[in-house]
Amino acid sequence: MEFSVIIPARYASTRLPGKPLRDIGGKPMIQRVYEQACKSNASQVVIATDDKRIFQAAEGFGARVCMTASDHVSGTDRLQEVAQILALPEDHLVVNVQGDEPLIPPVIIDQVAQLLAGAPQAGIATLSELIERATDLFNPNVVKVVADSTGQALYFSRAPIPWARDEFSAIGQAVPEQLPSNVSFQRHIGIYAYRVGFLHQFITWDPSPLETSESLEQLRAMWNGTRIMVAIARESPPAGVDTEADLDRVRALVS
């Protein structure tokens, strides 16, 4: 199995400007992400950016980097452009590693690629982990996923899914103290493997009503009939970096 890792990196983060270049233990964050991805079995690791500062920094630490258009709506669009620039075959596998995950375990990069390679009927593969706290299940910023017995995703949502009718029917607006023990609630982990042919299709589709409602891009793929495979991650990744507090936490872990 051969696959590529592409790391989209934007400078203009609203909550943490210049995020990819913020220092973590003497290295810019994007270098930390790149080095973790290089520990996977990927045949190549490429950083995709629309910013010259990130481009120059990536070249400075020896990374392969592609300059992309600045008007991409999503990271998936940026991935497609890189796949086109590199002339990757339609059946080639690409893993999207977020540029704000400097501690991402290489084992899950390999896992998500293997999951898609073993599912020729699917266009996407992704990972999940068990939700153990009711506050996470009812938090709209924590994306939930439900899959069938074969591991194919049935739906992604910011709402609590599946809804445990008997246990949750009387809670009103309050979050329950404990989750029912007979239901497996899964948090979606935002790492994806794609087939290049799917990426070329994806950019031709308009946003779907479900995607717009939930603000979840993967629902556009499902709306258009793409199968998404889901597996429980072999190792839970630490949370990514979105805020100064997140950055301080990762700096402390690295030091």
Please, what are the domains in the chain? 3-247 (3.90.550.10)
Share of the chain above pLDDT 90, in %: 71
Cα–Cα distance for residue pair 195/200, rounded to 1 Å:
9
Contacts of 23 (CB under 8 A, 6+ apart): 29
Task: Over range 113-125, report the average pLDDT.
Answer: 97
3-state secondary structure of 74: coil
Q: In the chain, what are the helix, strand and coil shares in percent, each to the nearest 5?
A: 35, 20, 45
Cα–Cα distance for residue pair 91/247, rounded to 1 Å:
37
CB 209 within 8 A of CB 222: no
Residues 32-70: pLDDT tens digits? 999 999 999 999 999 999 999 999 999 999 999 999 987
As a whole number of Å, the end-to-end CA separation of the chain is 35
H helical segments located in the chain: 29-38, 52-60, 75-85, 106-117, 134-137, 165-168, 196-202, 209-214, 218-223, 244-254
Look at residue 170 and tell me whether its pLDDT is greater than 70: no
3-state secondary structure of 48: strand
CB-neighbour burial class of residue 38 (10 A; exposed 0-12, middle 13-18, buried 19+): middle
Cα–Cα distance for residue pair 65/59, rounded to 1 Å:
7
Task: Over range 78-89, report the average pLDDT.
Answer: 94
Look at residue 72 and tell me whether its pLDDT is greater than 80: no
Amino acid at 56: Q
Q: How confident is the model at residue 174 (pLDDT cuts 50, 70, 90)?
A: low
